[in-house]
Structure 1
Amino acid sequence: MKLDDVINGYRITTQPTNAGGGKCMWAFAERDGREYFIKRFLDPKRPKDSSGPPSRSARIRLHACEEFADRHRHIMAALEPDQAGGGNLVLAQDFFCEGSTYYKVTERIDTSNLDSPHTLSSGKKSILLKTLGHSLRQLHDIEVVHGDLKPDNVLVQKATVFHTAKLIDFDDAFVSGSPPGREEIAGDVLYAAPEWLRYVQGEEGTGPQLLTTASDIFALGLLTHLYLTGGLPAFPDAHDSPAEAVNAGAALVLDPRLAPGMRVLIGRMCAVMPGERPGVGAFVSALTPESCELGPVAAEPPRRPVRTEPEPAAPPAGEGRSRLRTNIGGSEPSADGGGGEPRRRSDSARTSRVRINWS
C-alpha cells in the first residue's frame, strides 16, 4: 500500500503509516468523490495459490485466514448501520482481500478528541457517559463484545452544547462467549478484564465461554473512573494492571471524591468475577449529574511529629541495653525500600495495544 495506489477502487491519498495502528498500516483514501479511512492488516496473510495440493503449513494458514475473515464479516453483518442507530458507532463500510492481504474500510470522520473529559461539568460528564453506555448497549443487545474498550477507541467530541462519545475500532470484536483463540486474541492489558488475562495466560478453568459482554463492563468501569476523576483506580505497585491486581485478590482504590453511589457502581463493574458485574443498562440508569459530581477530598488527620533530636550516645561497654526504633506517622517500608502505597494511573499512563502469543 503506497501513496496513489488504487486498491479495490480506493485511491490512497496519504502516506501510509502504522502510528497507533498496532499490527496494521493505515491511510486515507478516496473513491467516487468520498473520503475513507483504509486499514491494511499485516497478519494473517493468505497463502499463495498453487497448482498442486497445499502443504500442511499452507492449510493451517488458510484456516486461520478463513476464521479471521468470517469473524470480521459476521460482526459487520450484525452491526449494520440501520440497526445501530444514534450515529455513535463508527462502522466498517467494506472488508476484502486483495492478493494475500486483508483490508478494512470505514468512512473518514472527524477524529478530534477531548483529552480531559474529567474537566467537564458533572452534567456534561453524565451525558458523555450515557452516550458511551448507549453505544455499548447496542453491541451487547446483539451479544457482541467490543473487545478493546479503551480511551484510544472512544472519540469524545462536542455536539452543540454537550459532548458525546463515538465508539470506534471493532477489529477485535467477537460474539459473546466465543472469542478468538488465546494465541490470536488482542487487546490492551491496562483495560483488560481479569478473565481476559487468565484466558490468554492459559489458566486452568478459564475457557472462552467466560469472555462475554461482562468483559467490556470491566473496561467501562475503568473508563468511567478515568472520565470522572482524570485517572484510573489505584492498585499496588506489585501488579502491572487492574486486572492482574484483582486476580491476585487486591482491591482497587477508588478516588475518594466520587459520590458514594458511583463508588459502589464502579466497584461492582470492576468485580473479579464476570457474573458479579451489572449490565450496561443498569450503568446507564445510574448516571445523573449528581452521581457524576465530585466531592471535596477528605482532610487527612494530623500526624504526630517524627522525633528529630539526635539519639543518645551509646552506653559504655558492659552497660548493654535494648533499643526500639520506631517510625511515627510514616508508612511501613517495603522490602524494596518503598512505602508500599498503591499507585494511581493518570489519563496519560497507558500501555500500548499488545498481542500476546503464549505458544
Structure 2
Amino acid sequence: MIKIEQVLQKDGKIFAVSSESPFYPDGKGGQLGDRGHIGDAKVFFVKESEGKFFHQIDRFIEPGEYPYQIDMERRKDIAAQHTAQHVLSAAFLKVADVQTVSFRMSEEFSTIDLDVPTLTHETLSEAEALANEVIRSCVQVEIINTTKEQANRMNLRKPLSEKVEEGFVRLVKIGDFDLSACAGFHVTNTGEIGCVKVVDWEKVKGSLTRVYFVAAERALKDYGKRVLVLKQLSTLLTSSIDEMVKRVESLLDKTKEQAGLIEKLAEALAVEQASKLPEIKIKDFKVAFYDGIDEVARFLPKYCSTDVLVCKTSEGYTISTKTIDCSKLVQILSKEFNCSGGGGKTKGSLKTSVKLEHFIESLSKVLEVIQ
C-alpha cells in the first residue's frame, strides 16, 4: 500500500503526494522513473523534491492508502539500459582512458557524455566490442552497501562526489570489470542485457563527446527499424546496401547539376518576363504583379523596373521596391492579413494564403495613404 497525504492540481496536472514511495523517481542518477498505477489512477511521472514524492496521475483521487502496481517490464528495461551504461563507460575508460562525466536515459535511447572533444570511429568500435564481450560473458552484477570511508578505499571507476554524505554508499560491482557508486536499477547478470549498440555521437559543450546508445530489447527494435529502412532505400535506389553510399552520392551530384541548370533557366525566364508583367498604377506608383514559378520570382526584382513588384509564391507573397520603405508595407499588410512577415527597406515577404485579387486590393489601399 502507498499512503497519499495530499493531492494537488497545478497547471492542469494532478499530483498525488507522499512522504514515502515504492516508485523510483525520474531523473535520479540520470535514470527514468517508474510507471504504473496508484489505485485506479495511472502514474505518468514521479518527482522527488524536499523529502516528498510527487506522482503525476491521470485522475483525481482522495488522500488515503491505496494499492499500487509498478510496470515491472519497464523497470526491467531500465535496469538493462543502466547496467549497459556502466559497462560501456568502463569500456571507454579501459580502451581510451576517457571518463564519463554524465549520463541520461530517455524513453528511446540513453547518452553518456565523455570527457574528450573528439573520438575516432575505431575507438568507438573498440569500446563497443569490449562492452559486448563483457555482456556475452554473463558477468555477475553485485550490489554492495558500504560506508563512504570504505568506498573511497576501493578501486572505483569514478571517485565519489563531494556531495555524497557520510553513511552507507551503494556500489554496483560488475565482476572485475567495473565498480561504481549508483542508486539505480541493475540486472543481476550482464547476459540479461543481450547487447549494447552505439547509434550516434556528437561534440557537445565545447570539450565533450556525447555518445548515444541502446541496449537489450531497444537495440533489437532499433536494429529491426534500420534494416527495414535500408531495405526500402535499397528498393527505391535500385542498389544493394553495399553500393548505396555511391548511389546516393551520384544522385546528389546530379541533383546539384540540375539545380544549377534550373537557376540559369529561371533567370533567363525572368529576363524575358520582366518587361511583360501586368501593371496597374496606384497613386504615383507603377505596380507589377507575377503569379508563377518561385525560382523565377526570385530573379524578377533584378530585372523589373516598376516602383513596386509583387510576386505570388508557394508560401505567400514577396514585395520588392526601391521607392518605398518595404518594411513599412510588410508591417501594415501583415496586420491586415494577420500573418507573419518581415524584410528590409527594399525587399519583404508575407506568409499568407489570401488570393491575389484580395492582396492587390489591400495593397492599393496602403499605397494610397503611405508616405
For Structure 1 versus Structure 2, the TM-score category normalised by the shorter chain is under 0.3
Give the structure with the higher percent strand: 2
Structure with greater contact order relative to length (CA < 8 Å, sep ≥ 6): 1
